[in-house]
Structure 1
Amino acid sequence: MKLFLPLSLLLCFSLKAQQYHLLVGTYTNAGSEGIYTYKFDVQTGKTTANGSVKTTNPSYLAVSPDQKYVFAVNENDSGTVSAFKFNKENGALTFLNTVTSAGAHPCYISVNKKGTVAVAGNYSSGTIAVMEIRSDGQLSQPKQIIQLKGSSVNRSRQEKSHVHATVFSPDFRHLLVPDLGTDKVMLYSVAPNSGALQAMEEPYADVNAGAGPRHIDFHPKLEIAYLIEELTGTISVFKYKEGQLELLQNTSSHPLSYIGAFGSADIHVSPDGRFLYASNRGDANSIAIFSIDQETGMLQIAGFQPTLGIHPRNFSIDPTGNFLLVANRDSDEIVIFRIDKKTGLLDDTKQRINVSKPVCVKWIVTK
């Protein structure tokens, strides 16, 4: 006699066979240790603390494709990047080495598909650093440094170049670099073996003057990229193809009646590609929720969710798409929302992670 299990039960067994680990980067000027690790239950949204590792101001994290290594920028005047080994059995991080980020206040790092190259962006100095990842997870000193130059109309925030992200395209053949200081998204081709960057023939895409491009994310199925613009609280929707961007739409991440200060921060597409989420700081402290047209990639507002905390610098969606976690920096708390997959709206689970100055949330999935 054959036994057949319901699909829901099989899915439950599959999820339980995998371990979901949450990594939290912090600012360490108010009592934080550095990076904290947790086990995360993707059925309930509950977390269990594993521990922490000391490192200074790990404000942005990246995970190697094989889930064995974690890389953190150390956002200081003399910027550095640190490498750690991840223990999938207990969630612990072990320090490997630290190298210069070739600039001041690095705020972003990403890793190529092969796990052999890391690219860091330095905000204050406007520099990009390309580093080799060795087979043992340690980082080399930067083998390529690119200095960006320019300014824009906001004299207090755009007096010079400010690199705010270094984002690989979905095929990892190109790198997109939002420069808040110049109102440009810089565009590079990536050498397949060395990871060296070469400016494209059309080296950048302009955004509206004073917008302040910050973070960018891609649709999982469409050739569409979404850019959050910090200074004007807006989102630009681009057609993306072969390292080039073509503007399709620009829309506000705030209600039309909003009159407070802007300070948009992070942006993510849901794993199923149906919804886009964007975080707003300033006076808003909200997550904007958009439905995505599945043919054009265009956005339509679906709602706004208060983050139930102050200064949502970063947020993340768990790999199953069940939960959205908001790192509220200035209220020292990560708020866990459940995602309604039909509407995209968020529901407070009443669960919190208490940690000083949380500013980055990343995931590791192991078996």
Structure 2
Amino acid sequence: MNFYTSSYTEEVGPGLSGNGVGIQYFSMNSETYEITLSHSNETINPGYFTLNQKNQKLYTFQERLQNLGPRLLCFQTNAGQLDLVCSLEIDGGLPCHISHIDKYNCLIVSCYQTGNFLKYDLDENGIPLACSQNIKYSGGSINKDRQEGAHGHLSHYDQAHDLLLLTDLGNDKIYSLKYLLGYFEQFTELSLPAGGGPRHLIQHPNGSYCFVCNEMKGEISILKWQDKAWQWVKNVSVMTQEHHNEASASAIKLSKEGGFIYCGVRKTNSISVLHFDDVKEVLCLIEEVPTLGITPRDFEISPDGSMLIVGNQDSASMISFAIDQHTGKLQLIEKVDGIRSICCVKFE
């Protein structure tokens, strides 16, 4: 099992900086689970990234303020070695997430600073073309320090209902868009409890539920598909510690069968493990597992569901855990030091 990480190499904004390398490629021994660095690719401030296995491409961006001219980057991949094949302008600031929608052969880039989402179509070789759509939002919510305007944070393709879902941390909203004649058009919008700050979203394998990680309140919003739209059901806390609206929840991931949810919490430097019963519609916190480092910004579950890898952004460390397939609980395997400023992890 091989995987990539990206890392911040310079200041992103006030309070967020890094001294990483760029993009790194690791191999893992399938028997001992020992992690070995195979390749390092120096790249300026790559944030989240996504992979296109069919065309052997890796897509990322420079996470920079708008006045610094962030770029969308496309790399050809070859067993962990990367060759830059395309660099395009991003009409926005602080891009923070990117997704690849295979059905519509395009990329969606979410911009935190400017609150917009950009669509880039791909050619027959998987190389992005100039931006074809700029989806803009405005507004704000009750937390005036963090929600003074729209803050795009993630896009997710809901295959079960053929919808593009967008999370807006600044507006406390989830937008659903339909694809019509080459463009994504607004279908519905869903308001979540004010002040939560929806950051990332995952979907249950049965297609009927989504789980939204709310960054500021450290809560997961359960969404259910009913009456031909996504509806809010309830919020469940991922923490037992008081945090005064500074939970700083980060990534959220789901086990293969959908029974266990994992949520990173930067306030407590831990991964919260929760169990979801889709029959009773109950989500319960099982445990909070320390990541043995500072700022678990991102983590990923291996394709076979057997392990979880966490990047501790501010302590130059990466942690691997084994996942108990019956209980969902995590057991420490290895701590790897010296991997600086990790902000995204993805298995090949």
Please give the TM-score of this superposition, normalised by the length of structure 1: 0.87
CA contact (8 A) 1:231 1:264 kept: yes
* Structure 2 stretches lacking a partner, 5+ long: 11-17
Distance 1:71 1:172 in 2: 25
CA contact (8 A) 1:85 1:137 kept: no
CA contact (8 A) 2:317 2:335 kept: no
Deviations 1:231-259 (A, max 9, x none): 1111101113697211222111101x534
CA contact (8 A) 1:170 1:218 kept: no
Tell me which residue corresponds to 1:69.
57
CA contact (8 A) 2:55 2:126 kept: no
Distance 1:354 1:220 in 2: 36
Q: How does 1:268-283 map to 2 (within 5 A)?
A: 268-282=253-267
Matched letter for residue 99 of structure 1: L
Distance 2:113 2:210 in 1: 25
Tell me which residue corresponds to 2:2.
21
The CA deviation at 1:140 is 0.9
Among candidates 186, 193, 196, match of residue 199 of structure 1: 186
Deviations 1:139-166 (A, max 9, x none): 1110101111011111110001000111
Among candidates 137, 140, 149, match of residue 160 of structure 1: 149
Tell me which residue corresponds to 2:77.
86
Distance 1:223 1:294 in 2: 9
The farther-off stretch of 67-76 and 316-325 is 67-76
Tell me which residue corresponds to 2:328.
344
Q: Which has the higher strand share?
A: 2
Distance 2:143 2:322 in 1: 37
Deviations 1:89-122 (A, max 9, x none): x321111111122100100000112472001000
The farther-off stretch of 43-52 and 138-147 is 43-52
Among candidates 94, 102, 127, match of residue 105 of structure 1: 94
Tell me which residue corresponds to 1:7.
none
Distance 1:311 1:243 in 2: 38
Deviations 1:253-296 (A, max 9, x none): 101x53464111111111121200101112x1111111111425
**1:289 equivalenced with 2:277 (yes/no):** no
Among candidates 316, 328, 334, match of residue 300 of structure 2: 316
SS at match of 1:60: coil
SS at match of 2:153: coil
Structure 1 pair 258–23 and aligned structure 2 pair: CA distance change class (3 A): same
Tell me which residue corresponds to 1:60.
48
Distance 2:102 2:193 in 1: 32
Distance 1:320 1:228 in 2: 23
Percent of counterpart pairs with the same letter? 28
**1:236 equivalenced with 2:225 (yes/no):** no
The CA deviation at 1:169 is 0.9
Matched letter for residue 322 of structure 1: S
Distance 2:210 2:327 in 1: 22
SS at match of 2:314: helix
Among candidates 49, 57, 64, match of residue 37 of structure 2: 49
Please give the TM-score of this superposition, normalised by the length of structure 2: 0.92
Matched letter for residue 250 of structure 2: A
Cα RMSD of the aligned pairs, angstroms, is 1.9
Tell me which residue corresponds to 1:16.
none
The CA deviation at 1:136 is 2.5
Distance 2:229 2:33 in 1: 38
CA contact (8 A) 2:41 2:82 kept: yes
Count residues in correspondence: 337
CA contact (8 A) 1:309 1:328 kept: yes
Distance 1:100 1:213 in 2: 27
CA contact (8 A) 2:320 2:332 kept: yes
CA contact (8 A) 2:106 2:122 kept: yes
Among candidates 182, 189, 208, match of residue 223 of structure 1: 208
The farther-off stretch of 45-54 and 261-270 is 45-54
Tell me which residue corresponds to 2:13.
none
CA contact (8 A) 2:219 2:235 kept: yes
CA contact (8 A) 1:112 1:172 kept: no
Structure with max Cα Rg: 1
Structure 1 pair 24–60 and aligned structure 2 pair: CA distance change class (3 A): same
CA contact (8 A) 2:160 2:207 kept: no
**1:301 equivalenced with 2:288 (yes/no):** no
SS at match of 1:140: strand
Distance 2:31 2:103 in 1: 31
Deviations 1:314-366 (A, max 9, x none): 111011111111111001111111111111111111232631100100121xx
Deviations 1:161-203 (A, max 9, x none): 0001111113472111111111111111124x73x21000x3x
Distance 2:255 2:31 in 1: 17
